């Protein structure tokens, strides 16, 4: 999808989209069209609600112009983003190739959010669909926005980051595994000036990453840790670490998962995908902040070499872990990534993202990601960024009483607690690896990475959740 900005409305647009606030009358928008637009709005019960659309054809020369009224709600930026998404949803496979959206007089940020909605809603993945009927193929190739493009480049960067995150989450697990995840991400960020570190199994063994490697040992695929460092801030500005769970497929290991729905576990790398997408966005828009993104990449498989329930592994921190359930693998991957980034890069704050627990979906469904933090200010900053971007978060408690539940009789801790509070005990596990003085937040995004129905700015499938909230958090909190 190509997005262009223009200063003037072209005279002959085949499709013209016009934003309307909730309750506003669609007047003065097209010459001599007031009565027609008002009638069309009424007939379609269109009231300008964000994301709603009314459609009408008006005479144009010998033919007709297709006019879309796009509701933007109260006119907040988020409403414009929804409206952009609604435009694409309506037109993507409609036969129209070009559309013009007249946003003259709209503030630059709202126009940019609109453009972002247009572009983000157009993302799809048809590479393996060799028999897609012509009528289901996208036709919309270009949207011209009449308006101010001053804020577009920043939103365009985020849109690129989202596309990368969605692609990674969508690719099938025979194609996307730790090594190929690294290749894909490095190709996507090539030339942007990110400092790259790739840890292979030799390095991880030497570093003592026993928890991460234990998860990987039942797989034919080799584990990797990928780190991308963006130094766009002052040399003495603090470093923020983003850490992502990248389990490229989670069978559960020896504690194997039931067959039904197991294919979903190809997107068990959604946390790492969000980190990759956020780093792409930050480097593309040259964010004035110092940020390192760390992705822990493994495949969790059962074979003759796989780790067993009851095994005790030694993490990079030196702390020992009794592996009660090999399906609680995400925390085993993340703990070594957290230790590594603290030891080697000394970040002042860490935000980790992971599709960590099914219990999170029981708690919050698919509307909010769970937030856990040892720092109230960091938690509030993330909640605020979440609200602003639509990547919504809800905070859960941490407490010593939950921490006790993962004490082990044979090792320093076990990797699962009792049945209750499964998302919280998972967070407590991670907290044991966070150094004193480091502000840390954990986002359990198990319910957010994949959608089984269309959203405002995504088609059903990978959402790219996490990219927008991370980008915004960095903009608000880490940039000078
Ligand atoms: N990747 C899963 C969590 C998950 C489940 C994410 C469904 C998205 C959708 C994670 O590795 C896992 O298996 N967690 C276990 C933990 C349990 C064994 C304590 C779970 O939630 O069942
Ligand atoms: Mn698992
Ligand atoms: Zn998992």
Report whether residue 446 contacts ligand 1, using a CB cutoff of 6 Å.
Answer: yes
Catalytic residues: 257, 331
Contact 374, 439 (CB under 8 A): yes
Per residue in 301-334, pLDDT (tens digit) is 999 999 999 999 999 999 999 999 999 999 999 9
Expressed in angstroms and rounded, the spacing between residue 218 Cα and the centre of ligand 2 is 14
Token representation of residue 282: 């930050």
- Partners of residue 64 on adjacent β-strands: 59
Expressed in angstroms and rounded, the spacing between residue 178 Cα and the centre of ligand 3 is 14
Backbone angles phi, psi at 293, to 5 degrees: -105, 125
Expressed in angstroms and rounded, the spacing between residue 306 Cα and the centre of ligand 1 is 18
- pTM assigned to the model: 0.98
Domains of the chain: 2-146 (3.40.220.10), 159-478 (3.40.630.10)
Report whether residue 444 contacts ligand 1, using a CB cutoff of 6 Å.
Answer: no
Q: Is the pLDDT of residue 218 over 90?
A: yes
Expressed in angstroms and rounded, the spacing between residue 173 Cα and the centre of ligand 3 is 13
Residue 480: pLDDT band with limits 50, 70, 90: confident
Report whether residue 327 contacts ligand 1, using a CB cutoff of 6 Å.
Answer: yes
pLDDT at 338: 99
Report whether residue 300 contacts ligand 1, using a CB cutoff of 6 Å.
Answer: no
Per residue in 333-392, pLDDT (tens digit) is 999 999 999 999 999 999 999 999 999 999 999 999 999 999 999 999 999 999 999 999
pLDDT at 301: 99
Atom of ligand 1 nearest to the CA of 329: 11
Residue 101 CB partners (closer than 8 Å, separation 6+): 16, 17, 18, 19, 70, 84, 87, 114, 118, 143, 144, 145, 146, 147
Expressed in angstroms and rounded, the spacing between residue 278 Cα and the centre of ligand 2 is 24
Atom of ligand 1 nearest to the CA of 255: 18
Residue nearest ligand 1's atom 7 by CA: 358
Residue nearest ligand 1's atom 5 by CA: 358
Report whether residue 250 contacts ligand 1, using a CB cutoff of 6 Å.
Answer: yes
CA distance 20 to 26: 7
Contact 39, 177 (CB under 8 A): no
In the chain, the N- to C-terminal Cα span, in Å, equals: 33
Atom of ligand 1 nearest to the CA of 416: 19
Contact 372, 349 (CB under 8 A): no
**Residue 188 host element (H or E):** helix 178-189
Q: Is the pLDDT of residue 404 over 90?
A: yes
Report whether residue 283 contacts ligand 1, using a CB cutoff of 6 Å.
Answer: no
Question: Best of 358, 363, 465 to mutate for ligand 1, by most ligand atoms within 8 A of CB?
Answer: 358
**Residue 142 host element (H or E):** strand 142-146
What's the CA angle centered on 164, arms 340 and 264, to 5 degrees? 80
């Amino acid at each position: 999808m190509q997005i262009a900005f223009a200063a003037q409305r072209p005279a002959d647009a085949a499709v013209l989209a016009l934003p309307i606030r909730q309750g506003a009358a669609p007047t003065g928008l097209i010459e001599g069209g007031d009565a027609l637009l008002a009638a069309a709005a009424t007939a379609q019960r269109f009231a300008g609600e964000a994301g709603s659309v009314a459609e009408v054809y008006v005479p144009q020369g010998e033919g007709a112009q297709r006019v879309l009224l796009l509701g933007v709600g109260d006119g907040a930026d988020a409403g414009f983003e929804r409206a952009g998404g609604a435009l694409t949803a309506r037109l993507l496979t409609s036969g129209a190739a070009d559309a013009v959206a007249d946003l003259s007089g709209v503030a630059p940020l709202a126009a940019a959010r609109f453009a972002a909605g247009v572009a983000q809603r157009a993302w799809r993945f048809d590479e393996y669909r060799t028999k897609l009927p012509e009528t289901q193929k996208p036709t919309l190739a270009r949207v011209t926005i009449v308006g101010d493009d001053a804020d577009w480049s920043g939103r365009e960067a985020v849109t690129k980051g989202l596309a990368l995150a969605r692609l990674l989450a969508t690719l099938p697990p025979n194609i996307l595994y730790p090594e190929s995840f690294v290749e894909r991400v490095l190709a996507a960020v090539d030339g942007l000036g990110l400092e790259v570190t790739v840890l292979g199994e030799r390095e991880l063994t030497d570093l003592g990453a026993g928890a991460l490697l234990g998860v990987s040992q039942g797989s034919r695929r080799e584990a990797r840790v990928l780190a991308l460092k963006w130094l766009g801030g002052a040399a003495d500005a603090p470093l923020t670490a983003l850490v992502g769970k990248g389990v490229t497929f989670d069978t559960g290991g020896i504690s194997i998962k039931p067959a039904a729905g197991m294919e979903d576990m190809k997107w068990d790398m959604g946390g790492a995908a969000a980190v990759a997408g956020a780093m792409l966005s930050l480097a593309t828009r040259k964010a004035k902040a110092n940020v390192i993104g760390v992705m822990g990449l493994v495949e969790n498989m059962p074979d003759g070499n796989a780790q067993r329930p009851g095994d005790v592994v030694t993490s990079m921190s030196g702390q020992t872990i009794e592996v009660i359930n090999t399906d609680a693998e995400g925390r085993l991957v993340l703990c070594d990534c957290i230790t590594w980034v603290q030891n080697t890069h000394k970040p002042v704050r860490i935000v980790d993202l992971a599709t960590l627990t099914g219990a999170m979906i029981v708690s919050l469904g698919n509307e909010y990601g769970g937030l856990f933090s040892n720092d109230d200010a960091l938690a509030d900053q993330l909640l605020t960024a979440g609200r602003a971007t639509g990547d919504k978060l809800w905070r859960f408690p941490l407490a010593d009483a939950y921490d006790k539940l993962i004490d082990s009789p044979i090792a320093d801790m076990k990797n699962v607690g009792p049945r209750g509070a499964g998302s919280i005990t998972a967070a407590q596990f991670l907290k044991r690896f966070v150094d004193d003085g480091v502000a840390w937040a954990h986002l359990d995004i198990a319910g957010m990475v994949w959608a089984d129905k269309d959203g405002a700015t995504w088609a059903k499938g990978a959402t790219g959740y996490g990219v927008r909230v991370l980008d915004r958090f960095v903009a608000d909190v880490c940039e000078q």
